[in-house]
A and B are shown apart, each in its own frame.
Chain A
């Protein structure tokens, strides 16, 4: 099925990386933030994180900060990334709503 980039679901790794990059963070900082936010559930491994960061930079959803020598490279989300994250947030809300509707479960009784 042909899909435009606007509709595709983000991977969990990408979703959490974007959430973490609302402020500048370096690699280790992203990993820690995601782990804390998800109560230790999402642990991004170094290779996976690096690969995701590289493709997000290529897509223009995040950018790497100008690097001074000896300083750790930091990343931050671009406006394009933020737009994409909002689309994903709406998609996720829809998923939750559909689940609650069809399963007859509301938010407080799970």
Chain B
């Protein structure tokens, strides 16, 4: 079996998901993920659709394990997990694969992601401040500043996405 490793960094899971599905269309299936390192295995093109989800708990938590069992009953495969993120896939021969079928559950998920962005954002703000007043590690500050800048952009876009969903939700439950 052919495999290849690709290094990439995505802050926006939705773009990452699009990319994984483009790879799957070409016959490259994600098998392992570790912090920007994606391992793909080759197969017939377009066999699986991939979805990425942020869990409420860590993957080894009983609640997450219960959810994974539930997904398996639905023929949804857990490909890999990383922190609270999970990579899922389902055969394309089945119905189109989506995780959420109404606005409420979609908003709930997007909101969970926004909260994670905020936590990472504030940790980096604190790191910047520590580095400002205690310049022992003066190169780290640029790294943290880059994350803060990048994240503020991503968070704004994410905030708008949630607003749009909420707007749609005021008139309908789903599209």
Contact = CB atoms under 8 A, between A and B. Distances in A.
Given A12-B102, A43-B95, A45-B101, A50 B108 contact: no
Contact of B105 (A51, A72, A73): A51
Taking chain A's interface residues, is the majority helix, strand, or loop, or is none over half, making it mixed? Answer: helix
Interface residues of B, number: 21
A48 B100 contact: yes
B174 interface: yes
Contacts of A11: 102, 104, 173
Interface extent on A, as a size class? 10 to 19
B36 to A, nearest CB: 25
Contacts of A87: none
Interface string A46-63: 111111100000000000
Interface in B97-131: 98-102, 104-105, 108-109
Interface string A27-47: 110010000000000011111
A26 B174 contact: no
Contacts of A46: 70-71, 74, 76, 99
Nearest to B74: A46
Nearest to A40: B95
B70 A50 contact: yes
Contacts of A31: 74
6 contacts: A12-B173, A27-B73, A45-B100, A47-B53, A47-B105, A50-B67
